[in-house]
Structure 1
Amino acid sequence: MSFENFQNSLVRKPVWLIKIHLDQCSHTFGVSPCTGTGTPCYYTYSTCKDRPNYEKAEYIWKFTSRDHQISGSLPLVEKVSYIPIEIDAKYNLARRGEMIIEMADDHPLYYSNPGKSISNKELSGSFWKNVIARNPNYYHRLAEVYLGFAGLEEPEFRLFFRGLIEKIEYKEFGITLSVKDLLKNLDKLSHPKASDNCKLSQDYTGGANVKVYKGNELLDWGIIKSEGGKYIKYSGKSGPDANGIWTLQNASFCFGSSGTVQQGKMVKQVLVYARDNSGISDGFSIDWILLDLICERGRISADYLEMIDSGATLSSSIDADDEALPVSDASLFPDQGVIKIDNELIIYKGKNGNNLVISGTGSGAPVPMFYCHFRGAFRTTAVGHNAGAKIYLPRITYEAMNWLLGARFRAEFEDPKKTQEILNQICEQALVQCWQNESSQITFLAITPPRPGEAIKELNDRENLVERTVSVLDDRELQSSRVIVYYKPLEADPEPKPGSYQSALVEVEEDIENENWLGEGKPKVFFANWIYQATEATALASRYLMRYKQGARQLKFHLELKDLDLEVGDLFWVKTGKILNERGEESRLLFQALRKQFRSGGRIEIQALETKLDLRYAYIGPENPVLNEGVSSLATTIKLTLTANTYQNDDFANSGQIQIEDEKISYESKSYNSQTGILTLSGCVRGILGTTPLPHNAGVDARLLYCGASQIARDKYAWNSDGQNLLDDDGDGRNELEGYYIY
């Protein structure tokens, strides 16, 4: 029988399988290259007798429930407790999950190291006392918890939780093992803090090498900032030499810095999430930031990221250092983002035809943050890939493409912070959730309505909700009638106060604040250190207000195991007699599962929040292209400049309509030069649909109208509707607003 058969059976006995990954040397004691002699070691670093030749590998210890044994396992598991992963309703941030596993102790094994041809016989101690003594470095090693049923073979067991060992506490006759989810790694500092002795050992004037003392206090690659405020990027380091001097390699000034940094000036590591256009310029898409925080700062393996099949493949093979990636259909990808091919993550900066590009035409301004690390990004390895290889998108890239397309965020951090703190900031300001899902993958969700056609689970009293377990909480503590966003910080690491920001935006729901409802204002204030443009500030304020202006209704109920597939983070529709509309009828409402916990009797308790996301919802689309050169009121050829952040050539129909300022223009044909990024519209008829032909200056926006969009663009974006929710298919340009579209 399969896991699903047992799950739906009336007679089933759950069985736990625990796997603990502990370090073990790959060599055999006394066999070359190991030069150890005498009594064999225990193949751990702390007991190694030839540390220069120690080669780290791992041994997976398996443990099962006391009354059930799987081949190669020890039946020591007595009790498993789960503190579930939970999404906080107030801040939309995840609270980490934790497993508490109690295991009995036992006599030691006959041989200390199963699987090794040379191993000590166990003569004293106990199993767990010996394991703990030989593995003092067990902290943050991987542990996995699997759930199965008596009668199932090991391959049929289902992964329940993957995490990092927090502690092993020995008690009388046993141990308690605490395992935190993978995001525990985000407690690491974002970057090292250099001491006052981290200084230049000689002047730096812009050459390929920077000479510093205390280079061991800096990252292997990144950005440093001098005592005088000059930025330098570098891609590697070596040292120290006989004089204690380190070399930062392949270095150059960045962010508009130049001149000389004098010998003896202190330098410090900084994080600058921004492009370099002779200064700190455009920000990054959300996926670049979150993946850097999770994989680079938090050292969480990219293997644990949730991936989505893009539907595209490599159209020809590439080498490990290629910076133009030929794909079968570039329209399936955002203008900049992250992809995965085989086991490699790749950051691309733009698109050029059916190529995703890291450098050259279409790649935009430089990105010092990932200098020389676009291939083999986020701690993966750059390798060659064959034509036809599938291309995957990290879930956050997929979410950004659907709901945050064109949104850019930037920030600078001089002082180290907990990586979790930085991740919380950007998630809150972009309204993105990040958590470890039930497949133990790191996943992401933009707080948005379901996509058109997306399958959403339906629950109701008769078929799903267990009788007498449903309760409703109308939580007014979460209500906000106005949102204030302070944005465009004046300095790095701004303090959370209005004076640290250049701009402020206020959104007010007057119907809620008047005397017929609240009779007062309930503000939510964001000090948005990641936001530097009004578009992102407006999106944050309007989306947050939509969700919380009437408070947040929470629902708690039990389900049977047949509905086990409802997971934390999932959206679902529910109809229950506990929630009625003004006519006394059950309402079909959209909720999000925030917490899931197993209860006695084979039931599951769900805590959920009403999303208020079943209404029209704004999101940020691509920027409009601009006129490459000025045109007179009689010109019949118009040239537009396309960049990585604008609509692309494929988004324009072969013939169609655009709008420039107040004038609407039709065109008969188009041609695109991928080398220059210039789209030429020919056979233009000026001043159509009752507008007036006018001259326009270079750099003015050219607005793409629905009737000028290709089918690719029509499927990809949802245009503003008119008052009757009809698309603008007559071409009058009604309601088009730059950057904003509404489902």
Structure 2
Amino acid sequence: MGDPISIVELHMDYCSRTFGVGACTASLGGQVDRKCFNTWATCKLKSAFNKATKVYAFTENVTGLPVGQYIPALKSVSGRSGTVNIAGSDPRMESLGVRATVTATFRDFVDNDTVSDKYQAERRSGAAQLSGVGYDPADRGTFWGRFKTRNPNYAGRKLVVKQGYIDSGAVTIEAERHYVITEFEGPDTNGVVTVKGKDVLDLAGNTKAVAPKASRGFLGADIDASATSVTMLPAGVGAEYASSGWAVIGSEIVSFDRTGDVMTIGRGRRGTVAASHTVNDTVQETFSVRRSRIDDVLYDLLVNYAAIPASYIPVADWQAEVDRWGGQLELTADICKPEGVSNLIGEMAVLGISIWWDEIAQKIRLRINRPPDLDVVKPIDDRNNIISAKQEDRDEDRLTRVVFSTVQIDPTKGLSKDNFLRTRVVIDVDAEYVDNYNGQRSKEIVSRWLNHGADNLVRILSKRLLNRFNKQPVLYEINLDYKDDCGLVDVLQLSSRVAQDDTGAIAPQLMQVIKREDDRSGHSLKITAQKFQFAGRYGYVTENSRPVYTASSAAQKARGAYFVDEGTLLFGDGTCPYVFS
């Protein structure tokens, strides 16, 4: 099979043009004393910069590497997969979970710059310098010293880790994970460089992406409570606003239609009161949605505000998941000032969604809090897969009731509970019964995303949450052989002596992977999985032509609903009835 190999790629911005040729009219002279290095920081004519990507591929110094394809300067690479916070239910972590991370260390070295510099030969001859005096790049600095100076805007650029093996000079890749660069340390006096990355959802971090974007426009004159037109300054700023929409002036929400820098406004909208405002008061455009699908709102925030490439979002998969399990998940909200995108998505998570980065498929996944449905169930057991396993009950996360507040009175006043009109309480009476758990465990949800009301949706979301967490959530920490690799949110069926029924027999358990870690040896992995608490056999509305239960196939029975004998409450084969969520 060959020897194992790790490859780390840094994808850096690189100008596709050539200095002084065609569209690039830069030339030596004046303040331009040398040609660029085809990066933004070194560009001599930024209006001509044409961004492409240059990939620097590093690997360990192993024998048999293909000539010219890799830079043998990699010392080590280690990573940690992210953690999913199912439906934002774990109070110990952020609603969006924990980002996957990677750390790669490199050795610095003397380099002749042939890999990085398009004009290396001209540096030597002097043709790349205004002075005409040449120099040998190998006599000036080191690879990483030059790299960092030429690419100071490394943050957010792609970092790819590939794992595979090399055999007779041929490299075969078995796994590939994608991240964005977040930190760059070194080179230090020992010639060590460390580059760190996180998964692409880091681009939605609260310090990196906000919605709405901060507006620059302000009132050019005082207005009273009856004015229906305003002119914004500075001149030309109107082009930064939509042609129509919603904005906040002071504590008043207005609707607007805009022509140039002039807005025609509707006063005192969304529960606010028309008031007088003073010259120089900011006109802040809002992030407003009206009965919009949750997947559409998430896409908008991630792509248009966090600048995450749209190619990372499997739109059809998102739509299918929401169509099937979140058809009523429509959002209505006004976000009146710039707020972190991560926080905003975290607020949506408690509505029963999980978002995570699939670092293998290079996609952002979306999952509704629901029973197992079309998920592929992977069996694991003590004999064939499990190296070791242990379980932990999280009784502190058990729930018996959900207190859910919706409909903001005034969207400019924030998320305090007294700024909401409706509070609905959904209780699992059986869980609170004196002979059962004998007590209350409440989860309070305050949501500004359901400002149209949606009481029926609140009931559904609350019951789903209780169905999953009305017993102690059970976490399983399992070590598996690498051949049994699995991804975040995969559904497993565990058959192990750590999970027994009341007779002591092994009781197969369905569970969902919420954390995954590679062992440093590369031969095993550790996962943390959360037991599925959805009890029962879930039914689905079927087509009119569906045959009766006894004539249906196993696949039809798994995705249908049939009526049981009203006396026994069982089907003829002894199986239990269906339930609906």
Same fold (TM over 0.5): yes
Root-mean-square deviation (Å): 3.8
**Which of 301, 308, 313 does residue 305 from structure 1 map onto?**
313
> Are 2:30 and 1:192 aligned?
no
Shift of 1:128: 0.1
Please, which of 492, 514, 518 is the counterpart of residue 433 of structure 2?
514
In structure 1, which of residues 461, 474, 495 is the aligned counterpart of residue 393 of structure 2?
474
The equivalent of 2:254 in structure 1 is 230
Matched residue of 1:438: which SS? coil
How many percent of aligned residue pairs carry the same amino acid? 17
Query: Residues 333-367 of structure 1, C-alpha deviation per residue, up to 9 Å, x if partnerless?
Result: xxxxxxxxxxxxxxxxxxxxxxxxxxxxxxxxxxx
Which of 74, 89, 101 is the matching residue for 2:71? 74
Shift of 1:224: 4.1
* Equivalences for residues 336-415 of structure 1 within 5 A: 393=316, 395-415=317-337
Unaligned runs of 5+ in 1: 1-5, 7-11, 238-245, 275-282, 308-392, 622-650, 655-705, 707-713, 728-740
- CA 1:724/1:487 → structure 2, altered by over 3 Å: closer, same or farther? farther
Give unmatched runs, 5+ long, in structure 2. Answer: 125-136, 549-555, 570-578
SS of equivalent residue, structure 1 residue 75: coil
What does residue 94 of structure 1 align with?
Answer: 97
Using the TM superposition, give the Cα deviation of residue 205 of structure 1 relative to its aligned residue in structure 2, in angstroms: 9.2
User: What displacement does 1:46 show?
Assistant: 1.9
Q: Distance in 2 between matches of 1:501 and 1:152?
A: 68
Conservation of the 8 A alpha-carbon contact between 1:48 and 1:54: yes
Whether contact under 8 Å (2:165, 2:171) holds in the other structure is no
Distance 1:159 1:560, change over 3 A: closer
Q: Contact 1:42 / 1:112 at 8 angstroms: preserved in 2?
A: no
AA in 2 matched with 1:230: V
- TM-score w.r.t. the length of structure 1 is 0.63
Residue 60 (structure 2) pairs with residue 65 (structure 1): yes
In the alignment, is residue 127 of structure 1 matched against residue 143 of structure 2? yes
SS in 2 for 1:525: strand
Q: Match of 1:74, SS? A: coil
Does structure 1 residue 574 correspond to structure 2 residue 460? no
Number of corresponding residues = 522
* Contact 2:254 2:265 survives alignment (8 Å): no
Q: Deviations over 1:305-358 (max 9, x none)?
A: 235xxxxxxxxxxxxxxxxxxxxxxxxxxxxxxxxxxxxxxxxxxxxxxxxxxx
Matched, 1:445 2:367: yes
- Does 2:167 correspond to 1:151? yes
Residues 600, 262 of structure 1: alpha-carbon distance in 2 compared, 3 angstrom cutoff = closer
Cα offset for 1:199?
2.2
Aligned to 2:184: 168
Q: CA deviation at 1:206?
A: 8.6
CA distance in structure 1 between the aligned counterparts of 2:565 and 2:332, rounded to whole angstroms: 36
**Could you tell me how far apart the structure 2 residues matched to 1:608 and 1:57 are?**
41
The 1:652–1:425 alpha-carbon spacing in structure 2 relative to 1, beyond 3 Å, is same
Q: Is the 8 A contact 2:238 2:262 kept in 1?
A: no
Q: Which of 54, 61, 86 in structure 1 is aligned with 2:49?
A: 54
Q: CA deviation at 1:449?
A: 1.5
Change in CA separation of 1:137 and 1:433 when aligned onto 2, cut-off 3 Å:
closer
Post-superposition offset of 1:609 = 0.4
Per the TM alignment, residue 590 of structure 1 is displaced from its structure 2 partner at its CA by 0.9
| CA deviation string 1:219-249 (max 9, x = no partner) | 5547341535321256xx9xxxxxxxx6489
Distance 1:715 1:726, change over 3 A: farther
Amino acid at match of 2:108: D
- Cα distance in 1 between the residues matched to 2:359 and 2:566: 39
Distance 1:579 1:192 in 2: 50
Give the equivalent residue in structure 1 for 2:343.
421
Partner of 2:510, secondary structure, is strand
> Do the aligned residues in 2 keep the contact of 1:36 with 1:50 (CA within 8 Å)?
no
The residue type equivalent to 1:31 in the other structure is: V
Give the Cα separation in 2 of the matches to 1:458 and 1:247.
63
Contact 2:177–2:362 (8 Å) recurs in 1:
yes
1:181-260 residue pairs with structure 2 within 5 A?
A: 181-187=199-205, 188-194=209-215, 198-199=218-219, 212-213=233-234, 216=237, 219=240, 221=242, 223-227=245-249, 228-232=252-256, 247=261
Q: Match for residue 466 of structure 2?
A: 545
- Contact kept in structure 1, 2:246 and 2:288, CA below 8 Å: no
| CA apart distance, 1:543 | 0.7
Q: Higher relative contact order by CA 8 Å / sep ≥ 6: 1 or 2?
A: 2
The answer as to 2:424 corresponding to 1:505 is: yes
Matching residue's letter, 2:109: D
Contact 1:194 1:217 in 2 (8 A): no
* Counterpart for residue 134 of structure 2: none
Q: Give a deviation string over 1:525-576, Cα, whole Å, max 9, x none.
A: 1112212211121112101111111110111111112112x11111111111
Take 2:269 and 2:163, find their aligned partners in 1: how far apart are those partners?
A: 56
Partner residue, 2:133 = none
Q: CA separation in 1, counterparts of 2:288 and 2:378? A: 41
SS in structure 1 opposite 2:410?
coil
CA contact (8 A) 1:223 1:271 kept: no
1:560 aligned onto 2:481: yes
How far off its partner does 1:518 sit? 2.6
Q: What letter is aligned with 2:363?
A: Q
**C-alpha contact (below 8 Å) 2:84/2:354 kept by paired residues:** no
Relative to 1, partners in 2 of residues 1:64 and 1:119: Cα closer, same or farther, differing over 3 Å? farther
Q: Specify the code of the residue in structure 1 equivalent to 2:153.
A: N
1:270 CA drift (Å): 0.4
Distance in 1 separating the partners of 2:494 and 2:262 = 58
State TM-score, norm by structure 2.
Answer: 0.80
Question: What are the within-5 Å matches in structure 2 for residues 16-55 of structure 1?
Answer: 16-34=6-24, 35-37=26-28, 38-55=33-50
- Go from structure 1 to structure 2 and tell me whether the alpha carbon gap of 1:113 and 1:432 turns closer, same or farther (over 3 Å shift): closer
